[in-house]
Amino acid sequence: MSHDYSKTSEALSRLNDQQYRVTQKDGTEPAFRNEYWDNHEDGLYVDVVSGQPLFSSTDKYDSGTGWPSFTKPVVADAVHTKTDRSLWMPRTEVRSTGADSHLGHVFDDGPANAGGLRYCMNSAALRFIPVSDLEAEGYGEFRSLFETTTTTTKEHTS
């Protein structure tokens, strides 16, 4: 199935002020006061602008920073990086490849056993789709990412 994950004026008009500031003006939302930093539900995180699949809850971890953090994108080409020199030191900015939305930054202080990267994302740049809604929302191809997690969870609750 082919998807067009580009930015459209219609998609931009649906964003609230915070989502627009973060994704289009390279903003940052407050730590610990954003929607997904403490979300532990299984599902997929997509670009709030285009719907492009970006991250899976299977790669999410608590970095202690107050923003949702992931060890890797759901597919390698979902994001691209560029140098951000807006602060006193250069950082590596992460943007979606489809709509070129600003998502956050990537750092090299993530879990060593998962590659050592920490994709520190803004919740305002993401939309969360629970596993139970993947098919209905058109993301059924990603359900297999959660089959082991769902099976393990069911085994532990039985």
In tens, the pLDDT along 30-83 reads 999 999 999 999 999 999 999 999 999 999 999 999 999 999 999 999 999 998
Q: Please report whether residue 83 resides in a domain.
A: yes
Does 19 fall in a domain? Answer: no
Residue 22 placed within a domain: no
Output the six-digit token pair for 50: 């285009």
For position 72, which CATH number holds? Answer: 2.170.150.20
**Separation CA 60–CA 69 (nearest Å):** 6
In a domain, 129, yes or no: yes
Which residue range forms the structural domain that includes residue 122?
A: 29-157
Higher per-residue pLDDT: 76 or 101: 101
pLDDT tens column, 114-137: 999 999 999 999 999 999 999 999
Residue 153 domain flag: yes
**Chain segment 7-19, per-residue pLDDT in tens:** 999 999 999 999 9
Count of C-beta atoms within a 10 Å radius of residue 11:
18
Q: Across the strands, what pairs with 82?
A: 93
The catalytic position among 15, 120, 121, 125 is 120
Distance CA 28, CA 104 (A): 7
Number of domains within the chain: 1
Task: Indicate whether 118 belongs to any domain.
Answer: yes
* Residue 11 forms part of a structural domain: no
Is 24 inside a domain boundary?
Answer: no
In the residue annotation, 120 being an active-site residue is answered as yes
Flag whether pLDDT at 29 surpasses 80: yes
- For residue 151, what pLDDT is reported? 45
